[in-house]
Amino acid sequence: MNSGLFQYKIAAFYKFIYLAVEDLAVLRNAIQVAMQERKIVGTVILAVEGINCTVCGSEAAMDGLVGELSEMLASPIEPKYSYSDKPPFRKIDVKIKPEIVTLKREVEIGLGRGTHVSPNEWNEVISDPEVIVLDTRNDYEFKTGTFERAINPGTEKFSELPHYVAENLDPSKHKKVAMFCTGGIRCEKFAPYMRSLGFENVYQLEGGILKYLEEVPAAEQRWRGECYVFDTRVTVDNVLNPGNSSDLSQGE
């Protein structure tokens, strides 16, 4: 991907970090001002459990915002970047919600320690025939592209995934489960959730599909198709350029 060909830099990141409920409105207003000043648009979700963000703007504006957000949170953030010749968002949308990704289950995030697999190790993990490769995304996302050997749970929303696991997977039989999602946030919740159910060998793709496509050379990828993203690009291809798929979330 040649970023110099594109006008807009897109940053996607999340962070599970405790944010006091009484501070959320102040933080929301500060982020809105910072985005307005830099002419940045996109979506930011805040909750007591942390922040989930996908925003875009010029290269300099985005770099400045990332630095300022790190200061606001008193913790460094590490975005995944992609580029586009058109802004994939139309407005500033900073929201406070109960969760930064909605699972509707109590999860101890700390149970996910030791489950992360780097993009460069991922191919080896999913090549193991004993590993169940679980796509934690929704059906329409799966249909635009996925990894070799991946299972489609057929969900319409993330909060349905626990039902799929309860009906189809058994920790006494399925000893190894590797999971992935777009940017990593769903797996950050679902890997510890699986651990809490008794699944022992749980692996999650660190940084998600986007980080994998960024770091693994196209010739070595086990990814097939395009990756659905939640903005006007609809999908990105395997080198993170805007894709060509139609939006299956709106019906075929």
> CB burial class (10 A; 0-12, 13-18, 19+) of residue 135?
buried
d(Cα 154, Cα 160) in Å, to the nearest integer? 9
Q: 53 an active-site residue?
A: no
Write down the catalytic residue from 53, 56, 181, 227: 181
Bridge partners (DSSP) listed for residue 180: 135
Q: Which residues contact 123 (CB under 8 A, 6 or more apart)?
A: 216, 220, 221, 222
Q: How far apart are the first and last CA of the chain?
A: 30
Residues tagged active-site = 181
